[in-house]
Amino acid sequence: MDETLLLDGKAVARSMKEALEGTIKELKAKGITPKLTTILVGDNPSSHTYVKMKANACHKLGMESERLYLPEETTTEELLSQIKKLNEDEEVHGILLQHPVPKQIDERKAFDAISLAKDVDGVTSHGFGSTAFQLQAYPCCTPAAILEVIDFYNIDVEGKHAVVIGRSPILGKPVSMMLLNRNATVTISHSKTENLEAIVKQADIVVAAVGRPNFVKGDWLKKGAVVIDAGYNEGNIGDCEFESCEPVASAITPVPGGIGPVTIATLLRNTVYAAKEKLINPAHKYV
């Protein structure tokens, strides 16, 4: 029996970061250091951890990282004012609003206030539409990371049936469009989907992005399916039950160490590309 291929996200992320080193040096030689500003509203412990991880990743590559902390009671208008300032700051190349935000904030309005030129996390409606239509925009980082892993391991998606479990605007929906643009046949499933197990059983590629620990079981899978676990739940648990899925799959991402590291590397790459674009087109104004 063929051994299941472990899709090592750490190796993919390392390769991506190494590929950025030369560009960062070139930019610095011309007086530009790629800078990512992360906005964190409130005191969510997990969000604090994620922000710190992203900042550390920036510093290790020689990039600048700024963390903007806003209190839990921040209003939508106050957040929009901060985003506007960052949009106008020529030294900032990328803006990331850490999700989730407190319930009183209109998250979609805040996301869409980010300049498309600085939307390195790919969260704006304009960015989503541009990605879906294969126009220039920075793609959502986790969906792009999934495609990066697929490419790194030369997994063929053309003509294959991909079942995406989850329909969030920053994961399930964009990754579905990106797979469709690669000529996969895509089924988007979600919490209201009937006969989900039977649908997953048809999949050549399963993308789990539902946010429920150990949700996908091994007996749901078709033998030889590729399993991409984009979930991350408390206790370092993915959306797929690794112990039962791994023996059935032909390839599978672990949690942790799968899509997560590649997501951060994608964020860094988008920020570097944004800085490079600013160098190429210095008259460009962020709006």
pLDDT in tens, 238-273: 999 999 999 999 999 999 999 999 999 999 999 999
Total of domains in the chain: 2
Tokens of 246: 């791994």
Is residue 179 located within the same domain as residue 92? no
- What 3-state DSSP class applies to 233? strand
Residues 6+ apart with CB under 8 A from 168: 209
Which CATH number fits the domain that encloses residue 114?
3.40.50.10860
The overall pTM is greater than 0.85: yes
Is the bond into 71 cis (omega within 30 degrees of 0)?
Answer: no
Q: Which positions are annotated as active-site residues?
A: 54, 98, 121
Classify residue 272: in a domain, yes or no: no
pLDDT digits (tens, 9 = 90+) for 75-87: 999 999 999 999 9
Q: Are residues 145 and 116 in the same domain?
A: no
User: Residue 12's pLDDT is what?
Assistant: 98
Domain span holding position 92: 31-121
Which of 102, 143, 121, 146 lies closest to 7, judged by CA?
146
